[in-house]
């Protein structure tokens, strides 16, 4: 026992009635600080929960934890698992049921490994996010928004939920770059992305697919719903503040909107949306045109003034 007493591992031995018969200094520090008994497995858990010691209980219900744990405590001769403590440490537990029904546990501190694992996971998540994000606007980039389109088309075929897609082009963007410079153009793009992001519903996505062109995905919606969403965003679009902090530039956009059909794939739905946005540009910009099946276009917007603003 002397070797166990000095070990950095946490060692405990419980008899067949779950009374604690031995605990080394590490185990006592984890579970028994100031505890005067009774020294049963369940009472030690209750003491820890009441005094901020021992294992972390996610739902805070120690009685539910006891009810889950006791039937499994001697269900197998050997098992291993990890557990985290309220003090932030993680331990890997080797749990052994001895031939006489007593239980010995040996816990090894693996906090450093868990923290390294967490750091690696966070680095992976950050790299994944960066690979999916347009650096200028913070929106999904072309590759990711097209992946989201593919996923939405597949999900829509299974569920029957509506999906609308719109290609959106900022009007007269080249004039901004030519007149004020590319920094001003970047400011307009960031402003455009921010305004859209604030007005979209949960589950809708806007991604930048190139230059001043964006792809909007409106989930669980029909054409009228998506058209109203676009009209509402357009009517309340605040001017962009340019880098000189003195110039405000109005922002208008043309949109080609279409609804997913049962046979659609990425190419067909984008083809209709692309033709519709070209039609919106040809009609004077600052409006939405709707692309229908077989490349046909819906009649122009009933609000001609919207195209002239």
Instruction: Specify the 3-state DSSP secondary structure of 213.
Output: strand
With beta carbons less than 8 A apart as the criterion, state whether 107 and 93 touch. yes
8 closest CA partner among 23, 32, 24: 24
Two structure tokens written together for 306: 């919207």
Residues 6+ apart with CB under 8 A from 157: 262
d(CA 234, CA 237): 5
The helix (run of H) or strand (run of E) holding residue 187 is: helix 182-199
170 closest CA partner among 190, 146, 141, 197: 190
With beta carbons less than 8 A apart as the criterion, state whether 273 and 256 touch. yes
Instruction: Specify the 3-state DSSP secondary structure of 156.
Output: helix
237 closest CA partner among 195, 189, 186, 205: 195
Residues 6+ apart with CB under 8 A from 85: 30, 54, 55, 56, 91
The phi and psi torsions of 14 (rounded to 5 degrees) equal -115, 145
- Catalytic hit among 117, 125, 212, 213: 212
Two structure tokens written together for 108: 């090894």
Catalytic site includes residue 212: yes
Which letter does DSSP use for residue 76 in this model? Answer: S
| Residue bearing tokens 């604030």 | 198
Q: Which residue numbers are catalytic?
A: 212
């Amino acid at each position: 026992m002397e070797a166990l007493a000095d070990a950095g591992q946490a060692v405990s031995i419980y008899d067949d009635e779950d009374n604690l018969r031995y605990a080394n200094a590490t185990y006592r520090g984890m579970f028994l600080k100031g505890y005067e008994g009774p020294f049963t497995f369940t009472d030690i858990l209750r003491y820890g929960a009441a005094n901020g010691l021992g294992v972390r209980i996610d739902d805070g219900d120690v009685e539910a934890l006891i009810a889950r744990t006791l039937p499994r405590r001697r269900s197998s001769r050997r098992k291993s698992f990890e557990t985290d403590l309220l003090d932030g440490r993680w331990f890997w537990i080797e749990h052994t049921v001895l031939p006489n029904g007593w239980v010995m546990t040996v816990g090894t501190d693996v906090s450093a490994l868990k923290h390294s694992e967490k750091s690696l996971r966070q680095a992976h998540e950050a790299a994944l996010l960066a690979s999916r994000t347009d650096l200028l606007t913070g929106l999904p980039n072309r590759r990711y928004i097209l992946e989201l389109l593919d996923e939405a088309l597949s999900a829509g075929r299974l569920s029957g939920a509506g999906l609308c897609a719109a290609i959106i082009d900022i009007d007269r963007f080249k004039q901004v770059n030519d007149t004020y410079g590319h920094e001003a153009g970047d400011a307009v793009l960031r402003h455009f992305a921010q305004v859209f992001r604030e007005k979209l519903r949960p589950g809708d996505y806007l991604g930048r697919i190139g230059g001043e062109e964006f792809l909007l995905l409106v989930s669980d919606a029909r054409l009228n719903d998506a058209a109203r969403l676009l009209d509402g965003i357009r009517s309340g679009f605040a001017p962009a503040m340019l880098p000189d902090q003195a110039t405000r530039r109005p922002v208008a956009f043309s949109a080609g909107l279409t609804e997913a059909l049962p046979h659609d794939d990425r190419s067909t739905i984008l083809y209709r949306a692309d033709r519709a946005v070209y039609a919106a540009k040809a009609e004077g910009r600052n409006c939405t045109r709707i692309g229908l099946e077989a490349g046909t276009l819906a009649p122009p917007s009933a609000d001609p003034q919207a195209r002239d603003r």
